[in-house]
Homo-oligomer: A and B are copies of this chain.
Amino acid sequence: MMDLDTVTTGNRLALSRLLTEVENDTQTGRDALDRLFVRAGRAHLVGITGAPGTGKSSLVSCLAKHIRSELGMSVAVVAVDPSSPFTGGAILGDRVRMRDLAGDTGVFIRSMASRGALGGLARATAGVVQVLDAAGFDFVLIETVGAGQSEVDIARLAHTTIVIEAPGLGDDIQAIKAGILEIADILVINKADLPGAENTERALRANLDLGYTPRMLHNSTHMATANDSAQEGAQGWVPPVLKTIATQSVGMADVLSSIKAHRDYLQQTGLWKVRDQERLKAEVTHLLQTTLMQRWQRSVSQEKYEAILDQVYDREISPGAAIDILMNE
């Protein structure tokens, strides 16, 4: 059994090893997650997402530096790279870009590779984030590339989601951004010195004025009956639109103060707790599904199961009919 105290008292090698176990979903990793659970729940989880070309990594790196220098708090960065679903290698070299953070013991950087399995990346990321949280980091920044379902799942992990835009990206990218806007708590126009920054800002503000209610939509299924839902709608966190030039450290103070303001907002409205609970509920549900499936598999003969699968393969019976047969065994 792994000695978890070394992990939570700043042993980086032990931490790295544990994260690898968690990423690979080994028994050691799962046991550790289970034992670390009661120590987690204190870090501010910040998701940072945006389309390719917006300068995410620079901004994450710059933000980490600001948290260190302005707040003196510790930061872990989880760089999620969905670009390589199968090889298990992180291509973008986030570690390289973050080079100037090296040597600071209050900063820890981890690049993740995607998992092939449905939802695998989101789960592995959740595990890594939980370990870093339990290890005592004040902030965990979760950087994600691209757009789509996996982004949304990862955004669900975060207390605060920052969406980064940049001027002058193509039409297709604009469309993707429009979708991702809905998960934004804070909007950042990076590369604000490029031509078109004002157009980008105008477009973003127009979208916000059209009545987006970020995060209410996000959690609508879970929150349909919660009072907090109405509360959020009423008090309305309006995502600020900020301009930055991350490569020159311009505008980072505003980003940092918006993050703090959003944290205050979440805590005052009780939404901080609501978001945590939603996440934990989803985790319990997933674990329940896995456990039920394992139990069921032990109860049914593999032969019988495969015979019925064969009938499905030959399109003699539908998957629904197959389930009916299997369940009535």
Chain A residues with a Cβ under 8 A of chain B: 30, 33-35, 37-38, 40-41, 51-53, 81-87, 91-92, 114, 116-122, 145-153, 170-173, 175-180, 182-183, 217-218, 220-221, 273, 276-277, 280-281, 283-285, 287-289, 291-293, 295-296, 309, 312-313, 315-323, 326-327
CA distance A217 to B284 in the complex (A): 31
Q: Known interface pairs A38-B316, A221-B116, A289-B292. Does A84 touch B172 (Cβ–Cβ under 8 Å)?
A: no
10 more CB-based (< 8 A) A-B contacts, given A145-B148, A284-B309: A33-B318, A40-B315, A52-B172, A83-B148, A83-B179, A86-B220, A145-B175, A149-B153, A280-B319, A284-B312
Q: Which of B147, B295, B323 contacts A82 (CB 8 A)?
A: B147
Q: Which of B86, B148, B171, B277 contacts A146 (CB 8 A)?
A: B148
Closest CB-CB distance, A302 to chain B, in whole Å? 13
Q: Known interface pairs A114-B149, A292-B289, A315-B40. Does A284 touch B175 (Cβ–Cβ under 8 Å)?
A: no
Q: Known interface pairs A34-B321, A178-B84, A183-B85. Does A149 touch B149 (Cβ–Cβ under 8 Å)?
A: yes
Q: Known interface pairs A280-B313, A287-B319, A323-B288. Does A149 touch B182 (Cβ–Cβ under 8 Å)?
A: no
CA distance A40 to B122 in the complex (A): 32
A-B contact pairs, 14 of them (CB 8 A): A38-B317, A52-B52, A53-B170, A53-B171, A82-B148, A83-B177, A83-B178, A86-B217, A87-B179, A146-B176, A277-B313, A280-B319, A283-B319, A287-B323
Closest CB-CB distance, A117 to chain B, in whole Å? 8
Residues of B within 8 A of A292 (CB): 289, 292-293, 296
Closest CB-CB distance, A307 to chain B, in whole Å? 13
Q: Which of B30, B33, B53, B312 contacts A280 (CB 8 A)?
A: B312
Q: Which of B34, B121, B176, B178 contacts A318 (CB 8 A)?
A: B34
Residues of B within 8 A of A171 (CB): 53
Residues of B within 8 A of A118 (CB): 118-119, 122, 149, 153
B83–A180 CB distance below 8 A:
yes
Q: Known interface pairs A53-B170, A152-B85, A173-B53. Does A309 touch B281 (Cβ–Cβ under 8 Å)?
A: yes
Interface of A is mostly: helix
Residues of B within 8 A of A280 (CB): 309, 312-313, 319
CA distance A321 to B287 in the complex (A): 11
Closest CB-CB distance, A290 to chain B, in whole Å? 8
CA distance A119 to B291 in the complex (A): 19
Query: Which residue on chain B has the smallest CB distance to residue A324?
Result: B291
CA distance A285 to B177 in the complex (A): 34
Closest CB-CB distance, A284 to chain B, in whole Å? 5
Closest CB-CB distance, A172 to chain B, in whole Å? 3
Residues of B within 8 A of A281 (CB): 309
Closest CB-CB distance, A16 to chain B, in whole Å? 23
A83–B176 CB distance below 8 A:
yes
CA distance A317 to B86 in the complex (A): 34
Query: Which residue on chain B has the smallest CB distance to residue A327?
Result: B291
Closest CB-CB distance, A239 to chain B, in whole Å? 15
